[in-house]
Amino acid sequence: MRHEIRFSGFGGQGIILSAVILGRAAALYDQKYAVQTQVYGPEARGGASMSAVIIDDEPILFPKVRDPDTYVIMSQQGFEKYGKSPRDDAVMLLDSDLVHDRPSCTWVGIPATLSAKKDLGREIVANIIMLGALTTATTVVSGPALEKAILDSVPKGTEDLNLKAMRRGQELGIEGGSS
């Protein structure tokens, strides 16, 4: 089964890291093939950033995501630039407070940034909440694989916080108000 996942948001939200973690989870712990790419500009913070992952059972040749079946969108500008015309059977996870529009495809609203601030006290883990939600709202990655990949990727001393964020995301992925 091939999945093409596109992440978008603004610089500083960890959009590229999200894709790196997802790719790592799939390639190293779900035993699939994965390729991660990105589009980025000169801004380290702000701007609309995009990253993408292809996950497949077979080796991946053309590496760029062109017609995603899964979206993770964390800003209105990111939605407008990279999320406006999804295919009909796509699933889009939205940060429900930061993205105002809603797509034509199936979508799941995740209050990731709000929850990161309110429940975990650290806005920076909003992207990990979104990743957690991916494991329950879609089938692109397994929970155990994601957990290992998160632990590989986050700074020492922040493991607990990030795992909490992932679990919170998993809950929100189930609860999420879908269209």
- Contact window for other proteins (CB under 8 A) among 7-15, 63-71, 139-147, 148-156: 63-71
- Bridge partners (DSSP) of residue 32 are none
- Contact window for other proteins (CB under 8 A) among 22-30, 75-83, 87-95, 100-108: 22-30
Q: Which is nearer to other proteins, 38 or 136 (CB)?
A: 38
Chosen residue from 1, 66, 155, 156 binding other proteins by CB under 8 A: 66
- Contact window for other proteins (CB under 8 A) among 21-29, 72-80, 97-105, 158-166: 21-29
Encoded amino acid at 107, one letter: W
Write the DSSP assignment of 18-47 as a string of letters. Answer: HHHHHHHIIIIIS--EEEEEEE--S-SSEE
Angle between helices 159-175 and 126-137 (to 10 degrees): 50
| Residue 2 lies near other proteins (rule: CB under 8 A) | no
Chosen residue from 5, 25, 35, 140 binding other proteins by CB under 8 A: 35
| Structure token pair of residue 172 | 């929100």
Chosen residue from 7, 10, 13, 20 binding other proteins by CB under 8 A: 20
- Residues 6 or more apart whose CB falls under 8 angstroms from that of 174 comprise 136, 137
What's the Rg (C-alpha) of the chain?
Answer: 15
Q: Which is nearer to other proteins, 41 or 144 (CB)?
A: 41
CB of 40 to other proteins, least distance (A): 5
Run of H or E including 54: strand 46-56
Binding residues for other proteins, rule: CB under 8 A, are: 20, 23-24, 27-28, 33-42, 60-64, 66
